[in-house]
Amino acid sequence: MENKMFRLKRLHSQIRRLFPVVFLILALIMMVLWKTQNPIIADLRFKTVQFFAPISEVLSAPANWIKGIKDEFSNVVLLYHRNRLLEEENKNLRAWRALALQYQSEHNEIKKMLHYVPYPKSKTLMARLIMDTGGKFSRSYIALAGHENGLKSGAVALTDKGLFARIIEVGPRASRLMLLTDYLSRVPVTVGTKKIPAILTGDNSRQPKIIFTEEAEKIQVGDVVLTSGYMGIYPSGLSVGVVASVQEDKISVDLFESGEQLTFVRLVDFGLGSNLLQDDCGE
Amino acid sequence: MQLSLQYLSLRLSPFLFCLILILCSTVPLFTLPDYLYSFQFVYIPIFYYAIYHPKILSSWAVFILSLLADLLTTQIFGVYTFSYMAIFFAANFWRKYFINMTFKVLWGIFGLLALGVELFTYFLIWLFSDTSMTMYPIFVELIVLMLVYPLFISVCAFLDQKVRDNS
């Protein structure tokens, strides 16, 4: 009897030793499941984030407070310098405004003459960003708007500066945004006045990189990057950023909207949801 | 009854401690220029308990914690499960040798283990997302982890001693 008990205990301890290996294998299976874009994972993730949102908000409060103080201090220090820069910029912008108004009227007339078919009417709503979660390699925001507000996966988040993120998961009252800097983000763009097609990919740094372009040598620092509208993920013509540096195999882009200190965003549904790839789950 | 409740709360303390560290790692507590930083302080208690008290923070508990970390972030699903379990597995597998080692040697071993896990995680992310990212945040994280290691080990040892005293 004692011998049997001893054997059972030994067997039990041997099985227990195997658990970590089983869990390691399970982790690899989980990654494969994620790669197959299983909607259950997205749903579970979203529910977990919503559940822990109040705790995370409390935990991030001290960091936000310190960051706020730091920003306020640097604002005060740079006030005079910034004011002079703004005055200068304002002068230039006034000249540009006159030109833009002239172009706009010409543009409208040409559109009328060519019977231009515009994008389907977009739905816009403002939403508050409540928190962001992330790690070393990714970061995302949660916006306080969801199905109940008529929001759909695939809508884009804009600020007055330009494109900021895309909605990847939608819950009843909240949705998750994927930033342009995220390593999973891929945005079809055009670069410069020659409209060189390329893909903008996030790499965790604040400057996403331009990849998959056949005319990299034509891209120059200062070229404006706009969404191209290819693949139907983003509408064309949304402001993204400017080329910050061009090295041999690395073209970095300074985003117009870096996402720092954002409280509200404009969520715009351009009705491109049907064109979206399968990764948009949670609807 | 009061004693058993106290004992239960003490038994749960390593799990709750890890849970708080995971929640801290998902919020941007540190915003430094250029890159995003997130520090996986939870590696330290996992390493400690896998060596000194694996029954109190078992592989099941680590698995549940890692699953939660995976669910809380937009990272590739399973990456945290892999890294936490790898730390637990390595520390637990060689615990017979580790348990008699001095604090300084274990400190160094932890650094090497964390570096190995982080590099392998980086490789997995590259493999699954086809994006090559800078390794700079990994090395910054490693330096910070090494600096705070004695502090977190002291907390773990304190909690562990309380559990042992009450058992």
Query: pLDDT digits over A106-127, tens only?
Result: 888 888 888 777 666 778 888 8
- pLDDT confidence of B33, banded at 50, 70, 90? low
| Mean pLDDT estimate for chain A | 80
Q: pLDDT tens, A174-184?
A: 788 888 888 88
A75 vs B40, which has greater pLDDT? Answer: B40
Q: pLDDT tens, A77-114?
A: 788 888 888 898 888 888 888 888 888 888 888 888 88
Q: pLDDT tens, B78-125?
A: 888 999 999 999 999 999 899 989 999 999 999 999 999 989 888 888
**Which chain B residue has its CA at the smallest distance from A65's CA?**
B29
Q: Computed over its alpha carbons, how large is the radius of gyration of chain B?
A: 16
Q: What pLDDT was estimated at residue B156?
A: 92
Q: Could you give the ipTM of this predicted complex?
A: 0.82
Q: How many contacts, defined by CB atoms under 8 Å, are there between A and B?
A: 154
Interface membership of A43 toward B (CB under 8 Å): no
Q: Is the pLDDT of residue A276 over 70?
A: no
| Region for B131 from its dihedrals, namely left if φ exceeds 0, alpha if ψ lies in -120 to 50, beta otherwise | beta
User: In which element (H, E) is residue A63 found?
Assistant: helix A39-77
Q: What pLDDT was estimated at residue B164?
A: 82
**Residues in CB range of A93: below 8 A, 6 or more apart:** none
- pLDDT confidence of A133, banded at 50, 70, 90? low
Top residue of A9, A137, A209 to mutate, by most chain B CBs within 10 Å, is A137
Q: What pLDDT was estimated at residue A228?
A: 86
A132 vs A155, which has greater pLDDT? Answer: A155
Please answer yes or no on whether B74 and A30 come within 8 Å at the CB atom: no
% of chain B exceeding 70 in pLDDT: 91
Contact A170, A283 (CB under 8 A): yes
Paired residues of A246 in beta bridges: A251
Please answer yes or no on whether B85 and A24 come within 8 Å at the CB atom: yes
What's the rounded Cα separation, in Å, for the pair A211 and A251?
Answer: 8
Across A40-56, average pLDDT: 77
Distance from the B162 Cα atom to the nearest Cα atom in chain A, whole angstroms? 25
Range with the poorest average pLDDT among A180-189, A261-270, B25-34: B25-34
Q: What pLDDT was estimated at residue A48?
A: 81
% of chain A exceeding 70 in pLDDT: 89
Q: Is the pLDDT of residue B29 over 70?
A: no
**Residues in CB range of B137: below 8 A, 6 or more apart:** A136, A137, A204, B35, B36, B37, B38
Q: Which two tokens stand for residue A35?
A: 């790669």
Q: What pLDDT was estimated at residue A223?
A: 87
A52 vs A268, which has greater pLDDT? Answer: A268
Q: Which two tokens stand for residue B167?
A: 């058992």
A273 vs A2, which has greater pLDDT? Answer: A2
Q: Is the pLDDT of residue A76 over 70?
A: yes
% of chain A exceeding 90 in pLDDT: 0
Top residue of A18, A23, A51 to mutate, by most chain B CBs within 10 Å, is A23
